Structure formats: structure tokens, C-alpha cells
Amino acid sequence: MSTTDSDSTADGTARQAASDADSGTEVTGPVVDLQDVTFGYTATPVIEDVSLTIDSGEYVAMVGPNGSGKSTLMQLLLGLLEPDTGSAQLFGERASRFDDGERIGYVAQHASAAKEMPITVREVVKMGRFAHLDLGRVGGGDPILDALREKPLATAREILNTVFGRLSAADWNAVDDALETVGMSAFVDRRITQLSGGQRQRAFIARALASEADLLVLDEPTVGVDAESVDAFYDLLASLNAQGITVLLIEHDLGAVVEHADRVVCLNREIYFDGPTEEFVESDALARAFGTEARFLSGVGE
Ligand SMILES: Nc1ncnc2c1ncn2[C@@H]1O[C@H](COP(=O)(O)OP(=O)(O)OP(=O)(O)O)[C@@H](O)[C@H]1O
């Protein structure tokens, strides 16, 4: 269990308030709010009547056997898929309409998409600032379309400069801070292709931090990462969560879930369990959701 468990209730409110004050955002309800969601790629639902709310500052792990709908549910709550019935809200807005992308840091499974990208750690983390770029400064504050109409070449050049290079001092500070937080300052000029799996994951977490995300969504982030880096990775997640960042983790390693998450959601098309990790360990949800697989997946609950 993480060291932050004991303060996840009483002190959690204080942490949330501090975090809100820092980010200037106002939390008016749950970060994630799914109500009676049913979804199928075909006529057969793979998610059935799922309701799930996640509040600011929580550390939630989602578990379930292969093909149980975890990634689908993740896409529904991020608004990448639309429920057939029921509703999905993110930060109080309909998830599929939500466009405040910098509030969400998404770390995909072994960040595999980036493995072949010939870009440096600094460039990856810099991408986290793009959502914050003030395009109002393009064209001396003119609305972009007017500027493009009046001075097309100069404006296009400014847009390219802004997007591909010209970050403000505040942007660069955010990049540096994020790199320092994940312990990757020494690797800024290293290409992503020349990092270990654990270091690559840290770079992608830094990108999420640079964007000042207040919800981190991680899909089996430690697959293919060496054991030592996995421990360091979970320490980092715990400290980010202690700073008020909401963590939602899909994790197949039940031992890691029990050790680190405060709350477990156990899914197999429908929700089999949703509650504190201690109660999950004591419950029969694992055996019911996983069937016989549970016995050799983990000794949890024995
Ligand atoms: N794009 C798709 N089109 C059709 N069926 C899909 C699609 N994506 C997933 N499915 C099916 O939906 C079900 C749920 O898949 P999903 O990927 O959400 O499960 P999961 O719990 O994330 O699995 P895993 O642990 O193996 O990653 C599976 O039966 C899968 O075959």
C-alpha cells in the first residue's frame, strides 16, 4: 500500500484544495463520472451498465482478465468512444466534447508508439506545452484568422515558430521542472530510442507533468519495464498522487495493485468490485471476475 493511504480521506480534501489553488481550477464534481454506460463494438455489449465515479486526488487501479473491457472503458471515460446508452463525463463535461486536453496525461502501454521516434527526451516533454501555447500572441495579438488573411506569410511563419520552437520562459521552466520531477534531467538530449523502457515511461510521464495534467491515465505502464525501474515508477506515481494528481491505472500485476492503489475497480464487462483495496483482497470478486485464472495470476486474498 502506498504511504499516502492514511491521508487519502481527511488530508485528501486539503491536498485537493491546495492543488486547486495551485492550478487555478475549480473542482465542482468528480473528475470521471460514468452513469449506466453500455457499449458494444457489435450488437453484443463489451461494457454493460457500468457506473463509475472518480474524485480528484484518488489513486484507482482497474483490473480484469484479458478482453474484459478495461481499455474500452478507458476510451469511453476519455471520450474517445461514445456510450450506446448512459452518460460519460470528464471534469463535469460530456467526455466526447471535452477539449481541455492538457488536463489529462495519458501514458500508453510501453509507450511503444514512440519507440521508433528519432526525437530527444526534451522534444517529447516539450510537446506537453503545446496545449498551453498562446496562439493569441501570433500576429501581435490579432485573431489568427484575421492575421492569416492580412499577413499570410508572416503569420504562417510565426505559427510554425510558435509550434515548433518558440516556447516562453514559463513553458521552458515547466519542461525543466517536469524532467527534474521524474529524474530525467540528465537525459534531456538522449534520443527516445536510446532509453530503457523505464526511462521512456518517465519521459512520457514528464510530458504529462509539463502539460500540468491533473488526471494521469496509464494503460499497463510497466509492461516490458525492468523490475528495478518498476519500483521507482510506482514511487513516482505515489508522490505525484500525494501532490493531488488523480491516478487511474490499468494494471495486470495484482501484486502491484494491492501494494500501490487505494481503490480497485474489478471489471469483466460489468463491475464485479469497486472499493478500497483492503476490501478487494478480502472479497471473492477476483475469483468471480477472473474465474480459475485468478489462482495462478496471484496469491492475493489467500
Ligand atoms: N476496435 C474493436 N473492434 C471490435 N472489437 C473490439 C475492439 N476493441 C476491442 N474489442 C473487443 O472488445 C472486448 C474488450 O476489449 P478490451 O480491449 O477493452 O479489453 P481489455 O480488458 O483492455 O483487454 P486486455 O487486458 O487484453 O488488453 C474484447 O472482446 C475485444 O476483442
The per-residue pLDDT for range 6-18, each reduced to its tens digit, is 333 333 333 343 3
Residue 142 domain-assigned? no
For atom 13 of ligand 1, which residue has the closest CA?
67
Which of 70, 74, 76, 219 to mutate to test ligand 1, by most ligand atoms within 8 A of the CB atom?
70
Q: Dump pLDDT digits (tens) for 177-206.
A: 889 888 899 999 999 888 887 888 888 888
Number of separate domains in the chain: 1
Residue 197 domain-assigned? no
For atom 1 of ligand 1, which residue has the closest CA?
41
Query: pLDDT tens track of the chain, all 302 residues?
Result: 333 333 333 333 333 433 444 444 455 689 999 999 999 999 999 999 999 999 999 999 999 998 999 999 999 999 999 999 999 999 999 999 987 777 888 877 655 555 566 788 988 888 877 665 544 443 344 455 666 667 677 666 666 665 555 677 888 888 998 898 888 999 999 998 888 878 888 888 888 888 778 899 988 887 767 777 788 888 888 988 998 999 999 988 888 899 999 999 999 999 999 999 999 988 888 888 887 555 434 444 44
pLDDT at residue number 136 = 42
Q: Compute the distance between CA of residue 79 and CA of residue 88 in angstroms, rounded to an integer.
A: 7
For atom 6 of ligand 1, which residue has the closest CA?
41
Residues 6+ apart with CB under 8 A from 88: 33, 34, 35, 37, 76, 77, 79, 82, 94, 95, 96
pLDDT at residue number 253 = 86
Kindly give the distance from the C-alpha atom of residue 213 to the centroid of ligand 1, in angstroms, as a whole number. Answer: 27
Q: Which residue has the cell 516539450?
A: 126
Q: Dump pLDDT digits (tens) for 32-55.
A: 999 999 999 999 999 999 999 999
Ramachandran angles phi, psi of 32, nearest 5°? -120, 135
Kindly give the distance from the C-alpha atom of residue 48 to the centroid of ligand 1, in angstroms, as a whole number. Answer: 14
Predicted-complex ipTM score? 0.98
pLDDT at residue number 10 = 34
Residue 189 domain-assigned? no
For atom 14 of ligand 1, which residue has the closest CA?
69
Residue 59 domain-assigned? yes
Nearest to 73 by CA among 50, 105, 98, 104: 50
Question: CA 268, 273, 275: angle at the middle one, nearest 5?
Answer: 145
Which of 37, 38, 46 to mutate to test ligand 1, by most ligand atoms within 8 A of the CB atom?
46
> What is the grid cell recorded at 188?
534531456
Residue 272 domain-assigned? yes
Q: Compute the distance between CA of residue 272 and CA of residue 269 in angstroms, rounded to an integer.
A: 9
Residue 139 domain-assigned? no
For atom 28 of ligand 1, which residue has the closest CA?
67
pLDDT at residue number 215 = 92
Hey, is 184 helix, strand or coil?
coil
Residue 230 domain-assigned? yes
Kindly give the distance from the C-alpha atom of residue 278 to the centroid of ligand 1, in angstroms, as a whole number. Answer: 28
Domain limits at 271?
5-117+214-297
Alpha-carbon Rg of the chain, whole angstroms? 21
Pocket of ligand 1 (CB under 6 A): 41, 46, 64, 66-72
Hey, is 297 helix, strand or coil?
helix
Give the number of the atom of ligand 1 that is nearest the alpha carbon of residue 72. 18
Which of 39, 47, 68, 72 to mutate to test ligand 1, by most ligand atoms within 8 A of the CB atom?
72
Domain harbouring 63, CATH code: 3.40.50.300
Residue 209 domain-assigned? no
For atom 17 of ligand 1, which residue has the closest CA?
71
Nearest to 12 by CA among 59, 60, 53, 61: 59
